[in-house]
Structure 1
Amino acid sequence: MSTTERGTPAQSVTADREIVISRIIDAPRELVFEAFTDVRHLSRWWGPEGFTTTTRAFEFRVGGEWDFVLHGPDGTDYQEWITWTEIAPPERIAMLHGETRDDPNAFESVLTFEPDGAATRIEMHTVFPTKEQRDEAVEKYHAIESGRQTLGNLAAYVTGVLLKEVED
C-alpha cells in the first residue's frame, strides 16, 4: 500500500471500481494453481454455490480463451468468456472476463497465489471499467458474495478432491 505525504494510506486510482476477495486454502500453492489451469478441475468448482459450468472451449495460455456457460440454480444460463492475459505459474493469473469476446463491459481480474505456511492465500482482485458497472455487479449479481462462494468452492474442491487424488 502506498502512503501520502502525511502518512495516511493513499487510495488506489481504481478503488471505486474494485472488488478484492481473498481466502486461505489448506493446500500447497502448486495444487491450488493447478485447479485453475486444467479444465477438468476448473469446470467442477467454478462459480457460486448451486451453479454448474459447461465448458465449450478452453485453452490455458496467454491469449487463450475459456468459453463457458454458468447454469444458475434457478435454470438461468449465463454466457461467459475469459481470455488469459498473464500466466506466471504458480503465483499469478491475469484475465479479462466478459460475456463474449467483444464485451465492452468486460472486467479485469488478477489472481495471486501466495504460500501461507503449508496453505495458500489466494486473492482475487477485480477492476471494472466504471464505478457504475462495479456497483451493478455488487448489487444485481451479488459479486462479492458470489466471489466468496466461488473461492469457497475452490477450497472445498482442492482439499476434498484434488488433494486426495495427489495423496493416493
Structure 2
Amino acid sequence: MNTFTNTRKLHATPSAVFAAMQDPARLARWWGPSGFSNRFDVFEFRAGGRWLFDMIGPDGKEYPNESVFLSIEADRQVVIQHTCLPHFTLTITLEPSAEGTLVHWEQVFADASFANAMRHILEPANEQNLDRLSAEVCLGNVPSA
C-alpha cells in the first residue's frame, strides 16, 4: 500500500483554511510534524510553481525538500508533487461542511516498499501536520506582520 489518507474537520471556512496554505509565512508555521520548523527558499504558489525549502527537525537537522504545485484551485484543492526523494503526490482537498471545512489529505508514494517501511512514521506525522494546520486556522493565529 502506498497511499495515506487523513480527514479532519476544521471549524473554519474553506477560504480561511486556503489562506493558511497560500501565505508562505503561515504555511512555514504549520507545515510538517510536531517539533519541525521550515525555511522557504522558493515559494511560487501557482500551477507549475516551485517550492524549495528545508524542514528543520527538533534536533536541528535540515531536510531539503523540492516540490512543484501541480494544480491549485482557490478555496478547494492544492496538489503538490514532491520531486526529490521520496517521491510522492499530496492532494489537499477542502470540502465545505456544516461545521466549516472537511480537509482531505491524500499522500501517494511512488515507491510502495518505502511507504510501507515508513508507515509507522508517516501516519502520525500526517496527523501532526493536520493538528498544526488546525491550530493555525482555528486557534486565532494570524499572519506575521
Tell whether the structures are fold-level matches, with TM greater than 0.5. yes
| Corresponding letter in the other structure for 1:130 | D
Aligned match of 2:71: 86
2:135 alignment partner in structure 1: 156
Q: Which has the higher strand share?
A: 2
Q: Which amino acid aligns with 1:44?
A: R
Task: Tell which structure's C-alpha radius of gyration is larger.
Answer: 1
Quick check: 1:109 aligned with 2:90?
Answer: yes
1:58 to 37, 43, 50: 43
C-alpha separation in 2, matches of 1:32 and 1:156: 11
Question: Deviation string for 1:76-103 (max 9, x for gaps)?
Answer: 21111221001111111111014x3xx4
Which residue matches 2:27?
Answer: 42
Where does residue 145 of structure 1 map in the other structure? 124
1:34 and 1:81 mapped to 2: Cα distance? 22
Q: 1:161 to 1:82 in 2, by over 3 A?
A: farther
Residues 1:127 and 2:112 are matched in the alignment = no
> What TM-score do you get using the length of structure 2 for normalisation?
0.91
Once the two structures are TM-superposed, the CA of residue 70 in structure 1 deviates from its matched residue by 0.7
> Which residue in the other structure is 1:9 paired with?
none
Q: Does residue 17 in structure 1 map to residue 2 in structure 2?
A: yes
How many residue pairs match? The answer is: 143
Partner of 2:62: 77
- Give the Å deviation of 1:161: 3.1
Give runs of ≥4 in structure 1 deviating > 2 Å.
none
Q: Secondary structure at the match of 1:22?
A: strand
What amino acid is aligned across from residue 83 of structure 1 in structure 2?
V
Greater RCO between the two (CA within 8 Å, min separation 6)?
2
Please report the TM-score for the alignment, with normalisation by the length of structure 1: 0.79
Which string of whole-angstrom CA distances, capped at 9 and with x for unpartnered residues, describes residues 106-136 of structure 1? 1111110011114111111111112102113
- The aligned counterpart of 1:27 is 12
Partner Cα separation in structure 2 for residue 115 and residue 47 of structure 1:
24
Shift of 1:72: 0.6
Do 2:87 and 2:111's aligned partners in 1 also have CA atoms closer than 8 Å?
no
Distance 2:90 2:53 in 1: 17
> Contact between 2:9 and 2:99, CA under 8 Å: does it hold in 1?
no
Q: CA RMSD in A?
A: 1.5
